[in-house]
Amino acid sequence: MQVLRIYREGNPVLARIACLLGGAVWGVFWIPLRHLDEAGMSGAWATAIFHGIPLLLLLPILLIRTSRLSSPKILLHLVGFTMGLSLVLYSTAFLYTDVVRVVALYYLTPIWGAVLGRIWLKERITGARIVGIFLGLAGMLIILNVDQGLPLPQNIGDWMAIAGGVIWAIAATLMRQNPQADSLTTLTFWFFWCTILAVPLALLMQGHYAVPDFSAFRSELPWLIPVILLIAVPGYFAITWGTPQLNPGTSGLLFMTEISVGTLTAAWLTSEIIGAREITGIVLISLAGLSEVLLPMLRNALRRIRDT
């Protein structure tokens, strides 16, 4: 079937679209985490719960597929570990600083990804990628009000966001090195390591909270399970399928749609205000994410016109 062939062999255009959509899903990721935090499952405990549920559902797949993997298990664990650590740092950072600051500082990722892709994978940094990085950084600095000074990290949440972005660039580079890895298996390893890493982080950073009362958690399941199954899992799967097909810098640019979605939803659902400055930043960041799709299309169209 055509769908299975595309799933196995990949498609550069669909991979870009998948990363754009995956970034958009991540833009609303903070909402269920904040709800879990308000229900008494604070910090990294919320992250562990959010990823532990899909892990339980995907565990049979992990057990079946790991027995007949073509990729080295150590590499899959390394990919899962770096993806998991990045997401745990990122998702926990939301609880220690502003939503907009977390998203913007995390998305220095295209710079780290482009550098790693050049040094590690020997892939050249294209003109479209340079334009995208410039637009993305300009939009990020505008949102962070750069006229009042450089947006240097101010608290542990900011530092967690930056560290998460660097580690994600490493994860994307590892995935690019192993594009034949099965996306569903990678997804399961991702959830596995998210859950495993979130628990010790919760104990380390939130020891004074102790273990939360999970009896309150049951009342959250009616909304949490549909959100995870219908939004989170498809979004995460799109990322694990699309990322290995693209340069780490490219995928980082495409994921920047999250900044636009995160800023808009934060303005809608919290006291964070969105004005002309934020809208300008969102437009620039959205153009940065689309640059890797639109600029090659424009270049090909101009080439066809010139050849006619």
Reported as a pLDDT band with limits 50, 70 and 90, residue 142 is confident
Let me know if residue 93 belongs to a domain. Answer: yes
Dist. CA 232–CA 238, nearest whole Å: 10
Let me know if residue 87 belongs to a domain. Answer: yes
* Number of other CB atoms surrounding residue 37 within 10 Å: 17
- Pick 230 or 259 by higher pLDDT: 230
Total domains in the chain come to: 1
What is the model's pLDDT at position 70? 56
| Residue 116 near residue 246 (C-beta atoms within 8 A) | no
Alpha helices in 206-232 (DSSP H): 221-227
| Domain membership of residue 78 as a residue range | 18-303
Spatial neighbors of 70 by CB under 8 A, at least 6 apart, are: 180
* Number of other CB atoms surrounding residue 167 within 10 Å: 22
What is the model's pLDDT at position 67? 62
Q: Each residue of 82-119: pLDDT tens digit?
A: 999 998 898 778 778 877 777 778 877 888 888 888 88
CA distance readout (Å), 283 to 56, 144, 288, 292: 39, 14, 9, 15
Q: What's the token pair of residue 75? A: 């590499």
**Does residue 8 surpass a pLDDT of 60?**
yes
Let me know if residue 9 belongs to a domain. Answer: no
What is the model's pLDDT at position 171? 93
Let me know if residue 146 belongs to a domain. Answer: yes
Let me know if residue 12 belongs to a domain. Answer: no
Let me know if residue 122 belongs to a domain. Answer: yes
Closest CA to 20 of 295, 249, 293, 296: 293
Least confident of 108-122, 134-148, 253-267: 134-148
Q: Each residue of 201-225: pLDDT tens digit?
A: 887 776 555 567 767 778 888 899 9
- Pick 287 or 51 by higher pLDDT: 51
**Does residue 151 surpass a pLDDT of 70?**
no
Q: Each residue of 13-59: pLDDT tens digit?
A: 899 889 989 988 988 888 888 888 888 777 778 888 888 889 988 88
Let me know if residue 77 belongs to a domain. Answer: yes
- Pick 53 or 270 by higher pLDDT: 53
Verdict on whether the full-model pTM lies above 0.75: yes
Q: What's the token pair of residue 191? A: 């959830």
Let me know if residue 6 belongs to a domain. Answer: no
Dist. CA 144–CA 47, nearest whole Å: 26
**Does residue 270 surpass a pLDDT of 60?**
yes
Reported as a pLDDT band with limits 50, 70 and 90, residue 235 is very high
Q: What's the token pair of residue 263? A: 């800023």
